[in-house]
Amino acid sequence: MTKVKFIHTADLHLDTPFKGVVSWNNELATKLKEATFNSFKKIIDLCLKEKVNFLIISGDIFDSENKSLVAQLKFVSELKRLSDNGIPTYFICGNHDPLSSWLDTIQLPENVFRFNSSKGNHYTFSKQENPIADIHGISFQTKVVKENLAHKYNKTENPSPISIAILHGTVGTPGPHENYAPFKVEDVAKKGFDYWALGHIHKGQVIHDSQPVIVYPGNPQGRDFGETGIKGCCLVEITADNKPTVKFIPTQLIRFEEIEIDLSGEKEVGKLLTKLDEAKINIPDYDDNDSYILRITLKGRTSLHSQLNEPGEIEQLKDHFNEGQLSQINFAWIDQIYVKTLPDIDIEQVKKGADFAAEILKIFDEYEGDKQKLMGVIHELDEDMVNYQVKKEIPELTGPEQKEMFERAKWILLNQLLKKT
């Protein structure tokens, strides 16, 4: 029976510089940079373990056209491990590593096939001289490609039993990514390919689950909080005339995650670390073999509210939690702690009073939900109370952000008033 098994990966972004992180924590930036290489190493290990027929990489192998020599040599070294074991690699170039940026001085190993940017480019994978799969691909020649490359893909006149297309581009909404090589599912649905191995979008997703199967594997290692959750590659098996089976396999070493910690009723600040550990292990698909970079939101009505809102306290708390973390093999580094707790105050009881706090709450109730009225008050504030830049930025806030700002201001003021009574 004709059958192929392969790994599909994309968007490795090797040599990502993490410049923003370098400016405040060079050690963490180094670990993130190493993670992009080590996640690729895990993919190569997986290819060898699963004894796949070949590896497919759907573009953006490097993060920049100005890729370092070391990054290129590391990439070649990993592919040589596959080649030495008789496993070929087929890859295209994307917008981050266009064909024009590759150096001729870097020699690709035997059995590594890089597609050019011309129409109708394909290689055939064979077993014992019997053609098994035609693999088609088109590389980006330059960084910006706006045309619909999908139109250029066509099966050969005498195709092998299995046909695979490798494409770096955008189907559907691009999200935070540039809308490069855009196409629609209907552009490729009737071209006769069994599997479309996509790249460019960093969120893993099956775009179409049959006839043909169209898949973004996502990037194998997240790089910021726009890429939270597990990251990995796809193990694909195709039997001629049958639907491909796709299995997602995690490959990341460091995960970016946003978590909430409910402090409702909590009176001891010493319990924060315990609650953090509990929240961490409740992350979906938690794996204690991974490292984590966390953004934490503290919420709930608690008597710790005032203490947590004291100037500088949260930064000191974050530094305390992070102490010694990066020296561990699997670390949990806190990037930010957001305090959205509320004072442990019975607000309805306060409203029943006849004091200034009760009057303030009545005013807040009057303005709550009335955006026009609230914005009018903001713009009438004296320059000495709110500087010009703040006034300029406030109208750009979204509705939920304005509501959150309003709610936070109410509780800060109420907390201060009640402390004085």
Q: The CATH number of the domain where 58 resides is what? A: 3.60.21.10
Task: Quote the distance between the C-alpha of residue 195 and its chain's center.
Answer: 24
| Residue finishing a domain among 232, 250, 268 | 250
Q: Please, are residues 171 and 185 in contact by the beta-carbon 8 Å criterion?
A: yes
Average confidence score pLDDT of the chain: 87
What average pLDDT does range 329-338 have in this prediction?
95
Residue 369 has pLDDT above 50, yes or no: yes
Asked if residue 67 lies in contact with residue 102, where contact means CB atoms within 8 angstroms, the answer is: no
How many other C-beta atoms can be found within 10 angstroms of the C-beta atom of residue 24? Answer: 8
CA distance 115 to 364: 63
Q: Are β-strands 130-137 and 162-168 bridged in parallel, bridged antiparallel, or unpaired?
A: parallel
Q: Look at residue 420 in the predicted model and tell me its pLDDT.
A: 52
SS3 86: coil
Backbone angles phi, psi at 256, to 5 degrees: -95, 125
Percent share of the chain, pLDDT over 70 = 86
Q: Are residues 221 and 337 in the same domain?
A: no
Q: Are 132 and 125 in contact (CB under 8 A)?
A: yes
Instruction: Please indicate, yes or no, whether residues 229 and 320 belong to a single structural domain of this protein.
Output: no
**Would you list the DSSP string of 111-129?**
TEEE--SSTT-EEEEEETT
Pair (189, 263) in one structural domain:
no
Q: pLDDT grade, residue 367 (50/70/90)?
A: confident
Which residue is associated with the tokens 């890089």? 114
Contact of 149 with 183, CB cutoff 8 Å? yes
Give yes or no: residues 104 and 232 share one domain: yes
Of 250, 273, 308, the last residue of a domain is 250
Closest CA to 143 of 176, 174, 99: 99
pLDDT the model gives residue 382: 45
Both 97 and 192 in a single domain?
yes
| pLDDT value, residue 2 | 84
Same domain as 159, residue 216:
yes
> Which of 136-150, 177-191, 394-408 has the weakest average pLDDT?
394-408
Q: CA nearest 9: which of 245, 170, 218?
A: 218
Does residue 118 carry a pLDDT above 90? Answer: no
Between residues 355 and 211, the one the model is more confident about: 211
Residues 84 and 51 in one domain: yes
228, 265: one domain = no
- Are residues 184 and 54 both part of a single domain? yes
**261: helix, strand or coil:** strand
Residue 293 has pLDDT above 50, yes or no: yes
pLDDT digits (tens, 9 = 90+) for 378-392: 555 544 455 555 555
pLDDT, residue 388, reads 55
List all residues 6 or more positions away from 295 whose beta carbon is below 8 Å from its beta carbon. Answer: 225, 257, 258, 259, 334, 335, 336, 337, 338
Q: Which residue has the tokens 């992180």?
A: 21
Stretch 283-287: mean pLDDT: 94
Range of the domain at 394: 255-419
Mean pLDDT, to the nearest integer, of 163-192?
89
User: Same domain for 185 and 150?
Assistant: yes
Last residue of a domain, one of 250, 270, 289: 250
Number of domains in the chain: 2
Q: Do residues 34 and 158 share a domain?
A: yes
Q: What integer pLDDT is reported at residue 421 of this predicted model?
A: 47
Task: Give me the torsion for CA of 252, 253, 257, 261, rounded to 10°.
Answer: 140
Q: Do residue 291 and residue 221 come from a single domain?
A: no
* pLDDT single digits (tens) 53-110: 999 999 999 988 778 889 999 999 999 999 999 999 999 999 999 988 887 778 899 9
